[in-house]
Amino acid sequence: MKRKPPLKALLFTLAGVWAAAGLGIYALTRFDRQQNITMLLPRSKAPVFVLSDQTGRVHNLADYDKRSIALVFLPGVSNEVRAELRSLKNEMKRFDKIGVKVFALAPIEKAVALELYEREKLNFPILLDAGGLVGQKFGVAPGRPYVSYVLGPESKVLLPLATVQPKEHGTQLVELAACFFDTFAAGSNPLMDKPIADATLPRADGAGSEMLYGDKKQRTTVVLFLSSRCPCSGGYDARNKALADAYLSKGVRFVAVNSSADETNAEIADHAKAHGFSFPVLRDAHHKLADKLNAQVTPEAFVMDANGVLRYHGRIDDSRDEKAILSHDLRNALDFLLAGQTPKVKSTTPFGCSITRQRSTSK
């Protein structure tokens, strides 16, 4: 019997896939030629279903249209399934933190599901997929017992996962999902078209401090909230460097800010050096600037004009996969400002890993 690769090795492999081809999860999906059943691909819309859980409560996928959810398909009841359910249960706080609702789906009867739910003291529902019919719509064929999906708003598939490790699946799924689920609706930013006061922050490399606006001779300032650990932020390292290098001669100042409480100055500085950042990386250890701007994820961009007025806020572009980019949002905003015009699109929805803020010590 072959040993399954350790979780860290799998995550490292997936991170490499992301770095090489963005949403390269396509390669991890499977196709059953005999039964003509295929897993759903990223960006496709998941089929709507209505299923009851172990208590009889009815769940309609359409009711969760504005939420992020994880669907974990199970083959039935076994010791391996129980281990997988316990793994998911143990990670529920982390799922809650990134705003993900978890559902297990299994082709079992209500009484069996209720017994399983109560015995394992689960904190998420088990949906009763009679005959595995819903599972088949999601590409769960006989002989392919363990499949999971993460869905974003509008029930769009963000991540299909066929490389499930049952005993560690909770950790596996939440760590992969974190890169996709930490999104928020930008809407109308209350700071838009208002001046953003300058701030002085220490450099992560220890070379003194810098002001956001530097010598204030630039035509435009871009503040990027980045992370040295987040795979989503890391996927933009090369793009950020290329943008900063391309726009430096045009009078655009790029400044990176790291507000993650769980990252050290040394690793932030090493990360910046390893990726050849030509712009300063400042440390916002107590996330005062992040709180002031209401920055939530990494990467996230704020663009101010020559007068320090916020003119754009949101994502860098619309896809982690460079080959699938349809809208170069940050670049477009810069081009408008350099042409003396207000960007047509002022706010977009940033996506990435949540900025880890310090826990309050007040009682």
The structural domains of the chain, with segments of one domain joined by +, span 7-181, 200-354
Q: Which two tokens stand for residue 119?
A: 């015995």
Range scoring the smallest mean pLDDT among 83-87, 156-160, 195-199, 339-343 = 156-160
User: Is residue 95's pLDDT more than 80?
Assistant: yes
- Fold match, 7-181 / 200-354: yes
Q: Which of 90, 203, 104 is nearest to 148 (CA)?
A: 104
Helix (H) or strand (E) holding 33: none
pLDDT value of position 143: 59
CATH no., domain 200-354: 3.40.30.10
User: Is residue 141's pLDDT more than 60?
Assistant: yes
CATH fold label, 7-181 = Glutaredoxin (3.40.30)
pLDDT value of position 331: 96
pLDDT value of position 270: 96
Work out the average pLDDT over 349-362: 69
Cα 46 from Cα 137, distance rounded (Å) = 9
User: Is residue 229's pLDDT more than 60?
Assistant: yes
Q: Which of 277, 80, 259 is nearest to 167 (CA)?
A: 80
Alpha-carbon dihedral of residues 49, 54, 57, 58, nearest 10 degrees?
A: 10
Per the CB < 8 A criterion, the answer to whether 222 and 252 are in contact is: yes
